[in-house]
Amino acid sequence: MTMHLLPERHRAIAFIFPAIIVVIAAISFPVFIGAGRGWWPVFILAPAAILAVVICIEFRATAIGFDAFGVHYRSVGYALDVPWSGIAFHANGGKPVLRVTQGERHFFPWLGAMYAILRVVMPFRANHASTAMANIPLYFFVVSERDSVMADLRATAPDGVL
């Protein structure tokens, strides 16, 4: 099975997250230093910076693969293993999406902890997040109708999926 990474133009978006933290730090450090609190931005921004770097690394590693079992999808903070019977193909305005109706979701430790907290604090947001995780944006991976992702999907998917 070949895991297909996002095209480079989509993978480059990942650098936005750390860049936002750098911009905030560049703006806030002079203000805090002027107020005699030079170390405060470090303590405030360090957790966000660590999370931004983790998101950047995982976003660049987002991948999709197809085999006889079904679809294997790795995204930021979670992975999906979905049998072909648990996939529905939708072309939302020309943007192909694979909707997961049944499958196995595996959280990475950092997102699993955050999702567990979210389910307790804001269950309606957790339901929204769960719904979002059940959609695989195939259009992120597809460059053209004849690229390797679509060719692999057509070669592997059983009749009736597409």
Task: Yes or no: say if 136 and 64 are a contact pair by the CB < 8 Å rule.
Answer: yes
Q: What is the pLDDT of residue 77?
A: 96
pLDDT tens readout for residues 62-121: 999 999 999 999 999 999 999 999 999 988 788 889 999 999 999 999 999 999 999 999
Assessment of whether the complete model's pTM goes beyond 0.85:
yes
Q: What is the pLDDT of residue 135?
A: 94
Rounded to an integer, the average pLDDT of 123-151 is 91
Task: Yes or no: say if 105 and 133 are a contact pair by the CB < 8 Å rule.
Answer: yes
Task: Yes or no: say if 141 and 150 are a contact pair by the CB < 8 Å rule.
Answer: no
DSSP of 43-73: HHHHHHHHHHHHHHHHHHT-EEEE-SSEEEE
Q: What is the pLDDT of residue 107?
A: 97
Nearest to 56 by CA among 107, 98, 22: 22
Per-residue burial over 23-42, b if 16 or more Cβ lie within 10 Å, else e, is eebeeeeeebeeeeeeeebe
Nearest to 81 by CA among 108, 113, 106: 106
pLDDT tens readout for residues 13-61: 999 989 999 999 899 999 999 999 988 888 889 999 999 999 999 999 9
At residue 3 the predicted structure's pLDDT band, cuts being 50, 70 and 90, is very high
Rounded to an integer, the average pLDDT of 141-148 is 83
Rounded to an integer, the average pLDDT of 116-145 is 93
Rounded Cα distance, 76 and 149, in Å = 19
